[in-house]
Structure 1
């Protein structure tokens, strides 16, 4: 059964939110977008969103607003696709317009679902992993740069009757899996983002050049090992990243063969995504903050609460904060601060 009469709200007209909104609209869904910038909202309303990339090029006319309070309807499903640091402002504004059966999906990096649950309740909160890539070339010009899928589910594993409807909506974009281990998927992505995104900010290098350096790969491994120690304390069953990178086998063992295997895996990742720059580094280039508090910051905070030492993640947070403030530049020599911790 199709549910194309459902009213869908997408908050955030960036690369992920904008493309998701446009492709659901193309499939006949009733979609409205909230854009942070007034001029962007007006431009989208008047001219539409230009989508390009792997799934083709098209122009999609779609309703857009600048403020949540401007809406005249109660959304059935909300896809929340802003940066994690924008949640504090946007979530309270959303609460008054929801109805009792509304569902809100968190599409942020990191594990932000507990923030959603505090405001909307666990019964209205749906976790979501975005496993594909996109780039914003201009406020109304978005490119899907890599394929992948979505994973959705409740944080407590409940079989919410709305999940198949949401799966159908997001399938307009790419394939969607429903999981009963949402926290395990979220933490899996958080680990790799805590290594790739944050080290990209610190070094200023594209992924290929960054992971071709053995010293950086050592840091990469240390981030993951600390994260898995925290996961054990939290009793999180961490899912393999991308269905392939099994963190348990990756981080276990201390023989020369184990070290060689880990470095080989990381080099393969670096080669596959060699031209990509960290999303955090792109944020720095635009004068915006990173999402470090929701990535390495989560590992550090949970480690502190459960008495698990996370010195490498703590130092990465400190360096990224200095880069955000302008006290440091993104450059390769910053890794020496971390290597001292590992020596």
Structure 2
């Protein structure tokens, strides 16, 4: 049974995982951080992770190890904050370190809950949306860049007495809300993330430059409409996005000139507001690392195939990003011209 004293771990000491773990430790929770790199482990042990930004300025020393196999004890609660493409390997390594009642809370971008459930058992996996932003300037130097909340829930939409305890841990970092439709919350975030990340990755452009183009906005909108068609086939209710301001059902409704114009104006406004945002997938590619596309656009494509919904735009994007990862395609705005509009 989970309690406020449950032994806890955070796997992944990047911006989200590091800040979450440090603020839990600062509040006196029994939390151990798995850092992956020894430099970060040493920094967490002494003098501590240094936090700044929205969360205030803190230097927090805490228990830390470099590998999952070095955890000091079995854990009741594990917050999995690795990159999405590392989470399944981490889950396999983690399984022996979970107590009989232990749970894993996924803090990934995209949707990895289904795949984690296949490894750990669905009953052990709790879904979580991270609705705030952070960046790691260097190992152990972390900044919370924007406000927001955690949204927590049972992935099968069942009543779950564990959620209030998990919520109490997360609230040391950010306000936390329990949802009875966490998969719809996750999918809502996935839709926008899949558009922003993928188009930035294949073009090399920041968001503001991307969304000045009518063609790019048309592709952005086509991705969203495919995603919503897949959600309808899955009988998944998609929660509002953009802090509750974006009703996806209203957004995709209608094919007349006025409906099309309204969609373009909304997407163009996103580009204006977040003009300097650089796709995290683009940053991964520029570092020679794989992207999280399998858990973003790839999830839409996979579910589309499973439910008989065509997703030609998202399929083309996934294929293009895989080619960039393999080195057979360059990152260039010319890639945009090869994408279908619908």
TM-score (norm: length of structure 2): 0.96
Q: 2:145 aligns to what SS in structure 1?
A: strand
Structure 2 counterpart of 1:142: 142
Q: How many residue pairs were aligned?
A: 340
| 5+ residue gaps, structure 2 | none
Alpha-carbon distance, 1:304 to partner = 1.4
Structure 1 counterpart of 2:329: 328
Residue pairs, 1:187-336, within 5 angstroms: 187-241=187-241, 242-336=243-337
Question: Partners of 2:71 and 2:292 in 1: how far apart?
Answer: 28
Q: Is the 8 A contact 2:88 2:116 kept in 1?
A: no
Residue pairs, 1:82-97, within 5 angstroms: 82-97=82-97
Alpha-carbon distance, 1:4 to partner = 4.4
Structure 1 counterpart of 2:13: 13
Q: 1:108 aligns to what SS in structure 2?
A: coil
Question: Partners of 2:114 and 2:202 in 1: how far apart?
Answer: 28
Question: Partners of 1:71 and 1:230 in 2: how far apart?
Answer: 40
Structure 1 counterpart of 2:159: 159
Q: 2:209 aligns to what SS in structure 1?
A: helix
Question: Partners of 2:244 and 2:146 in 1: how far apart?
Answer: 16
Say if 2:67 is the partner of 1:67. Answer: yes
Q: Is the 8 A contact 1:4 1:28 kept in 2?
A: no
Structure 2 counterpart of 1:27: 27
Structure 2 counterpart of 1:131: 131
Q: Is the 8 A contact 2:44 2:60 kept in 1?
A: no
Question: Partners of 1:308 and 1:123 in 2: how far apart?
Answer: 28
Question: Partners of 2:249 and 2:298 in 1: how far apart?
Answer: 21
Alpha-carbon distance, 1:164 to partner = 0.6
Q: Is the 8 A contact 2:4 2:165 kept in 1?
A: no
Alpha-carbon distance, 1:306 to partner = 1.8
Q: Once superposed, what is the RMSD of the aligned Cα atoms?
A: 1.5
Cα deviation, 1:146-184, whole Å, max 9, x if unaligned, reads 111111000111221111111111111111110111111
Alpha-carbon distance, 1:53 to partner = 1.1
Question: Partners of 2:5 and 2:298 in 1: how far apart?
Answer: 40
Alpha-carbon distance, 1:130 to partner = 0.4
| 5+ residue gaps, structure 1 | none
Q: Is the 8 A contact 1:223 1:313 kept in 2?
A: yes
Q: 1:99 aligns to what SS in structure 2?
A: strand
More deviation in 199-208 or 215-224? Answer: 199-208
